[in-house]
Amino acid sequence: MSQVQYISIDSERAGQRIDNFLLNFFKGVPRTHVYRVLRKGEVRVNKGRVQPTYRLKAGDEVRIPPVRMDATSVPVKVSAELTSLLQNSVLYEDDGLLVINKPSGLAVHGGSGLNCGLIEALRVIRPEQKFLELVHRLDRETSGCLMIAKKRSVLTALHEDLREKSVKKVYHAIVIGRWPKQLHKVDAPLEKNVLKSGERMVRMNTEGKASVTTFGIVKHYKELTLIEAHPHTGRTHQIRVHAQFAGHPIVGDDKYTDRKQNKELSEKYGIKRLCLHALRLSFMLPNSEQKVTVEAPYDRAFSEIISRLDASL
């Protein structure tokens, strides 16, 4: 892009943060480059500077500067392998919504030295799509159901549903030990901390935010248990920390599981990933009375772990 552009914000784009609008507009441009032009004031809204958190309003006029890739900028490139993987991971799609079976190991967005995450890759793969935004997030090592909005109105409606707790989420996890039959609910407030390294850690704290997860047993194994988890709140690392709080941390979790125990069990059963999978989502389609339930099958790695556990009985 070699010339200044002026864009008038319509009702479909209203409510979106300016940084997210620009990241979507500059498809293939690194996040650091986008934030740089914002910080330098090259992007203007109604002729004035704005912070990255500014939410656009209908009728706003946005000045888009010409963007030149400098020597340190690396454009987002998506391999043929990742393109094929994402194209084959679509679980549900309509005019306003996309549900992907997110692979374990793929971050939902770039940042912290990572140039390309799932959302950036989708924007490159689908250049014709004017709007693509994450409805919610999954940890990098978690696999399963992830919603991406293709319209601002759908994003807004689903965010409201998430706040109202009308979107139902079901996860499967493999935890250490024999999960007690009588343990159905963990109600423990959580507090998020960011370490100096930038790593996020979450701990139970009575002064933290209310957090509730209900659990059920899918199958007991000799040393492990396959459980079902229903988060009723959407806190960072909620299921992982609640499982740890219950005394049965998730296998493959290098943040919240005893390192020695985790290593021994992972080596014994050939586990090389966090054993947490977003199995199912149930929600009402925005502006519709239609209920949709989407289920994500286990990936090969998770399926092979289950097979080895079954063979151990």
Q: What is the pLDDT of residues 35-48, one digit of tens each?
A: 888 999 999 999 99
Q: d(Cα 199, Cα 220) in Å, to the nearest integer?
A: 33
Give me the CATH number covering residue 9: 3.10.290.10
Pair type for strands 276-284 and 143-149:
parallel
Does 75 reside within a domain? no
Domain end marker among 120, 136, 156: 156
Check whether residue 178 and residue 231 sit in a common domain. Answer: yes
Do 197 and 291 reside in the same domain of the chain? Answer: yes
CA dihedral over 130, 285, 55, 72, signed as positive or negative: negative
CB 186 within 8 A of CB 179: no
Residues 44 and 124 in one domain: no
Give how many domains the chain has, as a whole number. 3
Q: Which two tokens stand for residue 268?
A: 């014994």
Going by C-alpha positions, the residue among 124, 138, 128, 134 that lies closest to residue 154 is: 134
User: Is residue 103 in some structural domain?
Assistant: yes
Determine the Cα–Cα distance for residues 259 and 211; give it in Å rounded to an integer.
Answer: 25
Q: Give catalytic residue positions.
A: 139
Let me know whether 194 and 301 are in one domain.
yes
- What would the two tokens of residue 270 be? 């050939």
230 and 183 assigned to the same domain: yes
The proportion of the chain whose per-residue pLDDT surpasses 70, expressed as a percent, equals 93
Task: Catalogue the E-assigned strands of 242-301.
Answer: 276-284, 291-295
Residue 113 has pLDDT above 70, yes or no: no
Q: Range of 54's domain?
A: 5-64
Does residue 73 belong to any structural domain of this protein?
no
Final residue in a domain of this structure, among 122, 156, 190 = 156
Based on the domain organization, do 224 and 265 belong to the same domain? yes
Residues 195 and 305 in one domain: yes
Same domain, 101 and 123: yes
What's the pLDDT band for 246 if we cut at 50, 70, 90? Answer: very high
Of 15, 37, 64, the residue that ends a domain is 64
74 lies in some domain: no
pLDDT at 68 over 80: no
Half-sphere exposure in the Cβ direction for 150 (13 Å, CA): 15
Q: For the ranges 73-82, 149-158, 165-174, 253-262, which has the lowest average pLDDT? A: 73-82
- Asked if residues 36 and 68 have their Cβ atoms less than 8 Å apart, the reply is no
Residue 12 maps to a domain: yes
Task: Please check the confidence at residue 141 and state whether its pLDDT lies above 60.
Answer: yes
pLDDT of residue 72: 46
Q: Do residues 111 and 138 touch, judged by C-beta distance below 8 A?
A: no
Res. 191: pLDDT tops 70: yes
Q: pLDDT averaged over the chain?
A: 90
pLDDT band for 75, please (50, 70, 90 cuts): low
287 and 171: one domain? Answer: yes
Q: What is the CATH number of the domain that holds 102?
A: 3.30.2350.10
48 inside domain:
yes
Q: How far is it, in rounded angstroms, from Cα 300 to Cα 305?
A: 9
CA distance 138 to 117: 12
Regarding whether 304 and 224 lie in a shared domain, the answer is yes
| 174, 304: one domain | yes
226 plus 278 within the same structural domain: yes
Is 72 a domain residue? no
Look at residue 71 and tell me if it is in a domain: no
CA dihedral 281, 212, 138, 168 (to 10 degrees): 10
* Residues 6+ away with beta carbon under 8 Å from 36: none
Mean pLDDT of 227-248: 96
71: pLDDT strictly greater than 60: no
